[in-house]
Amino acid sequence: MSRMPLPADRLVQPKLVGYDPTRPRPWLERLAYTLFFAALWAMVILAYGAVPALFRRFGWLSTTAGFLAYAVVEAVLAFLLAAVVALILIVVLRKYLGKVQERVGPMHYGPAGVFQTVFDALKLLGKEDFAPKRVDWLIFRIAPAIVFVSAFLLMVALPVAGGWVMADLNVGLLYIVAVSTLGAYGVVLGGLSQGNKWGLLGGFRAGAQLVSYEVPLALALLAVGVYAGSLRLSDIVEHQYGVWHVVPLFLSFVVYLVASIAELKATPFDLPEAESELVAGYNTEYSGMSFAFFFLAEFVELFLLPGFMVVLFFGGWHGPLFGLAPGSFAAGVLQSLYFLIKVAVWVWIFLWIRATLPRFRDDQLMDLAWKGLLPLALVGLLVAAFLRMFLEVL
Amino acid sequence: MRGPTTVEPVPGRTDELIINMGPQHPATHGVLKVVIGVEGERITRAVPHIGFLHRNHEKIEEARTYPQIITYTDRMDYVSGLQNELPFILAVEDLLGVEVPQRAKLIRTIFFELFRIASHLVWLGTGMLDLGAITPFLYTFRDREMILEITEKTAGARMLPNYFTFGGVRRDVHPDFFKDVAHFLDFFETRLPDYYALVLDSPVFQARAVGVGVLSRERAIARGASGPVLRASGVAYDVRKAEPYDAYPDLEFQVPTRTEGDVFARFWVRFKEMEESVKIIRQALEKVPKTGPYKGKVPPRVKPKPGARYRAVEISRGHLGTYVVSDGSERPLRVKHRSPSFANLQLIPDLFVGARFADAIAILSSLDPVFGEVDR
């Protein structure tokens, strides 16, 4: 046999469907993201602005039947919005991680891979939703619902523009704390009910993480409430006309930022699902749509936590109105755009953190929360109280 | 001394959970199984089980001719494939009494150090993956790809090239080889600051690594640890200095050593080794003649004279030795490989017990075992 030929500069690229590595099309990706953003904006306008305005315009809200119809329509719209947010953010996360990591990310489904999540979701829908014999069946099935419903309920209280909120609760801040804690229960129960040791450890960790970050988070929210003089979220946004809360309440903002990453279970604090340690942590035994609900909830929270951060610390929907009357529909459209842009910036920062840092250890997270964040949050609360007092004296 | 071979639940004790970590666990770098008892997150007992990748290398090698065996040695530590060929080749060269031309020695040394960088890059990526950071993994694998392409151009294969042979290397290097290597080194030096920023200088990483999994100098020596694990515990033992082979006597380099013996020290030592490898390759590139012999005079039928020889080299994971017994025929009577990961893995009970569960993952990745070589 003759000698094998030298493999001189041969570099055969496999032919990939839908993606030509020699011809990257960044404009296509930019266009896709712009369209994504526009779709999200349109959904927000529809759910928070157009449909309520329609019901008010025709006076349907005064009748019981009209009010019930309104509630059903809004619930469906909130669910659709949650689904759209999750679908968009998942592909955005994957594309962004691809950019950071010097690869192309999803490329195959749709132009520049924009429909990747849709196909993922379809795949998960088609999968068997399997439960092993050892699970505590009822809790195992309820846990994903708790997680998703809590994320979905948070969406109701999000004020996206002046007067644009599904439920303008006078206890908005308390509602956020209560409902977001509920989601963590889902994670703990899901971990403990599956009769799997990795899930059990993930559940333990989720519980430890929950009690650690919820206290500083609640105190940071309380500081905002004290400073703004109201627990109603729209009042808090109105209170920021002069200066955004991030300036006077910087300490509380830092606490909220760190605690919300812990709540998201994103990378420096992704202990409950730490895939290299606990296999998949609390969702080890979940498959099909049960798993998808955990996944969806995670990405809805990735939208909502920066959303509430913008509401509480970055002036919510504030921005130049160019002469539009505040409270008008056109002003609402513009304000919701400002809100979404601010949220997008913060989502980007969250993803950036996720792409960069390694993971903390469980005891380090608890140290950080109890010895670092809690005193910081208390000082932040004191600062807020003092500032409030001075403002009232003046 | 024989340790416990399994972990049984203690009757009546309910606070200890016994977990099988592996062999299908994401952080066990292949097929290690560790049966661990945990109290909450603290590890109370740990027993490693190996052998899931046992392929009977040493016995098979008795039935193969000498040139055929080189292919098998590649498959031990498949992450630093080419390096594994060398101890066997050195031993057989000694038995044959073959002169290796200086140019071939330098080429071998360049490849040897390139594969050290490649192996440490894989370790760095997967190690950081274990610690929860995804991004370094993709960066390091892209850099490693350049080394594999250089190897492919010259040897025809990427990971397991089967390129070294008795008396030198199997064929002359590709005409672009020296240019490509120099280009890779320049590029790699621009990448190192990124790795420092992402890993060694990262406060989160330091919180995870400093003071974790401390291995004392005495314990490291007693367990027969070698390589970066040993050097991080304060023993400056490196086969390249202790028993120099190939072109190493002519090249200047440091042996990075640290005394802390923790996970951070083991990471630090491997980082510095990559930098030293760059220096070694640069020196070798200056010395190596562009043309000349790449192989010494070797008889077509390799039949070493009867006798036995043990030669060792410093591969990425430590002291890899091969003992060859020849009876004068074209097949060896016995081949024995002394592999570094196997010895380093004995540290698991020492280092795991008392650590937290997340620390155990960091410790395992800092030991950097490769199971092809543990089980052979």
What was the pLDDT predicted at A121? Answer: 83
Contacts of B25 in chain A (CB under 8 A): 279
What was the pLDDT predicted at A117? Answer: 85
Average pLDDT over residues A367-371: 89
- Tokens 């604090």, residue? A269
Nearest to B357 among A97, A277, A364 (CB): A277
- Predicted-complex ipTM score: 0.80
Residue B133 to residue A8, Cβ atoms within 8 A: no
CA closest to B138 among chain A residues: A101
Mean pLDDT of chain A: 83
Dump pLDDT digits (tens) for A11-58. Answer: 444 454 545 554 567 787 788 888 888 988 998 888 888 888 888 888
Dump pLDDT digits (tens) for A56-75. Answer: 888 777 888 888 888 888 88
* A288 domain residue, yes or no: yes
Query: What is the architecture of the domain spanning B57-375?
Result: Orthogonal Bundle (1.10)
Dump pLDDT digits (tens) for A345-361. Answer: 999 999 988 888 888 88
Coil, helix or strand at residue B218: helix
* A1 domain residue, yes or no: no
Strand partners, B307: B326
The domain in which residue A189 lies consists of 132-393
Residue A267 to residue B133, Cβ atoms within 8 A: yes
Residue A101 to residue B19, Cβ atoms within 8 A: no
Burial of residue A247 (CB within 10 Å: 0-12, 13-18, 19+) is: exposed
Contacts of A97 in chain B (CB under 8 A): 134-135
Average pLDDT over residues A141-159: 87
Nearest to B204 among A103, A279, A357 (CB): A357
Dump pLDDT digits (tens) for B65-90. Answer: 998 899 888 888 888 888 898 999 99
Nearest to B358 among A267, A355, A361 (CB): A361
Average pLDDT over residues A107-118: 78
Residue A6 to residue B131, Cβ atoms within 8 A: no
Size of interface A-B (CB pairs under 8 A): 97
* A280 domain residue, yes or no: yes
Nearest-Cα distance to chain A for B334, in Å, is: 31
Residue B111: closest CA among B142, B150, B165, B75: B150
Mean pLDDT by 10 residues, chain B (376 residues): 63 78 76 84 85 87 89 87 90 89 91 92 90 87 88 87 88 88 90 88 88 88 89 89 87 89 91 92 90 85 88 90 90 90 87 86 88 84
Residues A317, A152: Cα–Cα separation, whole Å: 21
Q: Please indicate if any CB of chain B lies within 8 Å of the CB of A63.
A: no
* A255 domain residue, yes or no: yes
Residue A83: closest CA among A155, A32, A178: A155
What was the pLDDT predicted at A49? Answer: 81
Residues A375, A377: Cα–Cα separation, whole Å: 5
What was the pLDDT predicted at B2? Answer: 52
* A3 domain residue, yes or no: no
Average pLDDT over residues A249-257: 90
Contacts of B142 in chain A (CB under 8 A): 102
Residues B287, B246: Cα–Cα separation, whole Å: 13
Give the distance, in angstroms, between the CA of residue B38 and the centroid of all CA atoms in the same chain. Answer: 30
| Least confident span in A35-39, A80-84, A106-110, A258-262 | A106-110
What was the pLDDT predicted at A315? Answer: 84
For residue B365, the number of C-alpha atoms closer than 13 Å in the C-beta half-sphere is 28
- Max avg pLDDT among A237-246, A273-282, A377-386: A377-386
Give the distance, in angstroms, between the CA of residue A210 and the centroid of all CA atoms in the same chain. Answer: 17
* A321 domain residue, yes or no: yes
**Which residues neighbour A53 within 8 Å (Cβ) at sequence distance 6 or greater?**
A329
| Least confident span in A20-24, A133-137, A176-180, B310-314 | A20-24
Q: Please indicate if any CB of chain B lies within 8 Å of the CB of A6.
A: yes
* A387 domain residue, yes or no: yes
What was the pLDDT predicted at A24? Answer: 62
Tokens read off for B11: 């009757």
Average pLDDT over residues A277-294: 79
* A79 domain residue, yes or no: no
Instruction: Name the A residues in 211-270 with CB < 8 Å from any B CB.
Output: 267-268, 270
Strand partners, B196: none
Please state the domain count of chain A.
Answer: 1
What was the pLDDT predicted at B355? Answer: 87
B134, B212, B363: which to substitute to probe chain A, counting the most A Cβ within 10 Å?
Answer: B134
Tokens read off for A54: 């329609």
Q: Please indicate if any CB of chain B lies within 8 Å of the CB of A276.
A: yes
Nearest to B153 among A7, A204, A276 (CB): A7
